[in-house]
Structure 1
Amino acid sequence: MTDQPVFIVGSDLQALEPATFETEEEFQELLARHPRVLDFGSLADGRPLRLVLVAREMGVPTSAESGPAYWLDHLFVDADAVPTLVEVKRASDTRIRREVVGQMLDYAANGARYWPGALLQRSFEETCLADGRPLEEAYAELLGDRSPEDFWPLVEERLAAGQMRLLFVADRIPLELRAIVEFLNRQMRQTDVYAVELTQYRGDGDLRVLVPRIHGEVATAAKSPSGRRTAQRTTRDDMDAAIRCRLAPEPRRIATELLKHAAAKGRLEGGTAKYPSMSFHYPVAGRQVPLWTLSLYDNPAKEELAFSFGSITHHLGPGRAAAFAESLPAVPELQQKLEVQRQKGYNGWPSVTLTSLAAEPGAAEVILAAIEQLMDGGGAPNSFG
């Protein structure tokens, strides 16, 4: 059927013939300019889904210290803060059958771990700037009267919890890819996986018709009602209980002191991952800035304190980020990662275990002093913040 023309009836009958996309670049540009062709389904409150482009060729690192190792074709987001990762292939590309699946899972796994909310916000705003679109207009369409400062940390949390969509887009979806998509969609509870077959028909001049066909929706509908947006956030009681049960005395003391300080001076926000986690926002230069995240991983068991340098750099500029890095404790595990950040422009998530901090006398107190210094540092953030 896809080889048959479609017809437009007006003053006369015009046939539009099936046409391939001449290049993958043409295909990608079409989706970036017209994401409506990928809008299917609805938001949590029943409103129609509307995807908004965060970035084309979104870099995907494979560690907190490295630059991009891969490049995702498109990253979109919706008003529920659910990210949508898109890979585009023409049917003539043999990678559309199986290789693209491994690529996408690489992007999703590493993006979930190494895309801080501040990086996503900066990418979105740079995309708007490049497209000549005023930020106020773009945010009004995406968020209404909600604040970007609340929205992007939520996107980061969705990613960390695996709450995302993965879209394989092609002009023809082979049966092998369709079977894989439906299998993944049945097995993955937090992540929705779809294949979108976008058939193009061309007529006279610039006239063309795009017909999307979605594969995977049946598997999505069959998922249990415990789906993505009902994930429970870690509460302060949850985190306190996990700290008491899991940590040795000195790491427990450090975690408790950090939590008490954040509760007194800033704002705690529970994560939605399967393991206990919380992020901590502090008032700096008139805005709430995410500074660090505490995660107590289950498998393998590990406790990790990660500093959100991407957020600090975005909101306060590289100078303030560098000063904050210099004031952190001289723990070898942390200092090695900070050195990489100095070379990379302070855009990653250097982390340190509480066990390593416990081995350095006074490390917790140095961290708290560094936070206080950042809060009291004065000065306006850079113009891009």
Structure 2
Amino acid sequence: MADQPVFVVGAGLEALEATAFATEEEFQELLARHPRVLDFGTLSDGQPLRLVLVAREMGVPTSADSGSVYRLDHLFVDADGVPTLVEVKRATDTRLRREVVGQMLDYAANAARYWPAALLQHSFEETCRTDGRSVEQAYGELLGERSSDDFWATVEERLAAGQMRLLFVADRIPLELRAIVEFLNRQMRQTDVYAVELTQYRGDGELKVLVPRVYGEVATAAKTPSGHGGTQRTTRPELQAALDTRCTPEVRRVATALLEHAESRGKLVGGTGRFPSMNVHYRMAGGGWVPIGTLSLYEDPAREEFAFSLGSIVTRFGFDATAAFADALPSAGGLDERLHQLRNTNFNGWPSVSLAALAAESGAVTAILTAIDQLLATHEPRP
């Protein structure tokens, strides 16, 4: 049955008829300018959800050295640091049935691995400047009492843990897609999946009415809590308890050296993933903080590693300083090979090394700590 018109009562009665979007570009531009049409649900403190645009056509790599292979239509984020990935299709696009689902899952899987905090922050601030928005005002909607570094580190951690929203947006959602969305939402504990049908009504004048209808909320409500409604950070005692119960004395010594060095010269920020983790931040000479890396104790499969936040380092100190830092790091566990590959992508990545490999190579931990000290002491941060 055809859509019934929407009636606007003013001086008279005006009927607005359902009207298809002329182009996908028009559809995408509307969402970028008016993300409130996608604001359903609440934040962890009970406040209404307010999505903020990070970027349009956000590049998605498929490896540490591939560059952007795909382009996500829109990336939004909310004040809880939960990223929202949006793909837009018109009903006339036959890919809306099944192909778009595989496409979105591909984007989400690779974004979780290859979108460091520094890249997300740069994309957001560049989008603000391009759109003529004040960066400070945009941050005012997101940060609260947090620093921008802490906020984007939280977004990155949520991505790594799979704590995100996936939104399929179209002017008509077919039954096949609704069924897939409901199924995925029931099966995926950390990730929420929705389909949003956005119908446009227009009359003879300039008046336009947008009516969103959301599919997938029933399956979301039936889930056990996924954890991305709040920010439950790993505490230092919790991380230590995990180290004591699952790690060898050699691995514990490596972890303790890395953590104590950060505590004495910077600060530790607990991770928000499903596994115990701790981010190490250091104060820069010109003020502010730089996240150097993350110590993580993964559960499935069980492994302990330290990952370097090279994207954050290169954003704050530049390529040459980051290259010198990378050259000073040890070769343990093939770390040198991964660092060499990342030179071709402006060090956009999170190269990691297992704590066991660091423990097995004499002087490896000392080399890391010395490299950090040299980076902070000999290079002024970029303006």
Q: TM-score range by the shorter chain?
A: over 0.9
**Alignment match, 2:335:** 334
Structure 1 residues 36 and 307: CA distance shift in structure 2, 3 A: same
Residue 263 of structure 1: SS of its match in structure 2?
Answer: helix
Contact 1:189 1:227 in 2 (8 A): no
Match of 1:357 in 2: 358
Q: Structure 1, residues 179-213: CA drift from partner, whole Å, max 9, x if none?
A: 11112222222222111000111222433211111
Q: What is residue 287 of structure 1 aligned with on the other side? A: 288
Contact kept in structure 1, 2:90 and 2:171, CA below 8 Å: yes
Q: How does 1:161-240 map to 2 (within 5 A)?
A: 161-225=161-225, 227-230=227-230, 232-240=232-240
The residue that corresponds to 1:100 in the other structure is 100
Q: Distance in 2 between matches of 1:151 and 1:256?
A: 26
Deviations 1:270-304 (A, max 9, x none): 22222222211111231111101112222223222
SS of the residue corresponding to residue 141 of structure 2 reads helix
Q: Is the 8 A contact 1:65 1:349 kept in 2?
A: no
- Counterpart-to-counterpart distance in 1, 2:62 and 2:247: 28
Equivalent in the alignment of 2:265: 265
Residues 128 and 9 of structure 1, relative CA distance in 2, 3 Å threshold: same
Which blocks of at least 5 consecutive residues in structure 2 are unaligned?
none
Question: Match for residue 368 of structure 1?
Answer: 369
Aligned residue identity for 1:329: P
Q: Name whichever of 88-97 and 312-321 sits farther off.
A: 312-321
Q: Which amino acid aligns with 1:323?
A: A
Aligned partners of 2:239 and 2:322: how far apart in 1?
Answer: 28
Q: CA deviation at 1:332?
A: 6.6
Amino acid at match of 1:269: V
**Preserved CA contact (<8 Å) 1:275 1:298:** yes
Describe the SS at the equivalent of 1:364: helix
Offset, 1:269: 1.8
For 1:270 and 1:65, locate their aligned partners in 2 and report how far apart those are by CA, in whole Å. 28
8 Å CA contact 2:169, 2:198 repeated in 1: yes
1:305 alignment partner, SS class: strand
Secondary structure, counterpart of 1:229 in structure 2: coil
Instruction: Mark the CA change 1:250 to 1:227 in structure 2 (over 3 Å): closer, same or farther.
Output: closer
After superposition, where does 1:11-90 map in structure 2 within 5 Å? 11-90=11-90
Letter aligned with residue 27 of structure 2: F
Distance in 2 between residues matched to 1:26 and 1:73, nearest whole Å = 12
Partner residue of 2:132?
132
CA contact (8 A) 2:171 2:197 kept: yes
Could you say which residue in structure 2 is the equivalent of 1:8?
A: 8
Does the Cα contact within 8 Å between 2:43 and 2:229 map onto a contact in 1? no
Aligned residues: 382
Code of the aligned partner of 1:164: M
Task: Give the drift of 1:250.
Answer: 3.5
Deviation at 1:64, TM superposition (A): 3.1
**1:189–1:228 contact (8 Å) kept in structure 2:** no
Residues 203-212 or 337-346, more deviating: 203-212
Matched residues in 2 for 1:134 and 1:299: separation?
42
Q: Distance in 2 between matches of 1:211 and 1:96?
A: 19
Q: How much has 1:82 moved relative to structure 2? A: 1.2
1: distance between equivalents of 2:344 and 2:376?
24
Instruction: Give the 5 Å matches for 1:298-337.
Output: 298-331=299-332, 333-337=334-338
Q: TM-score, normalised by structure 1?
A: 0.93
Instruction: Rate the CA distance shift 1:251–1:142 in 2: closer, same or farther, 3 A.
Output: closer
* Partner SS state of residue 153, structure 1: helix
1:238-278 Cα shifts (integer Å, max 9, x gaps): 32233344344433322221122122222112222222222
**What is the one-letter code of the residue matched to 2:39?**
D
Q: 1:2 to 1:213 in 2, by over 3 A?
A: farther
SS in 2 for 1:27: helix
Identity of counterpart residues, as a percentage? 70
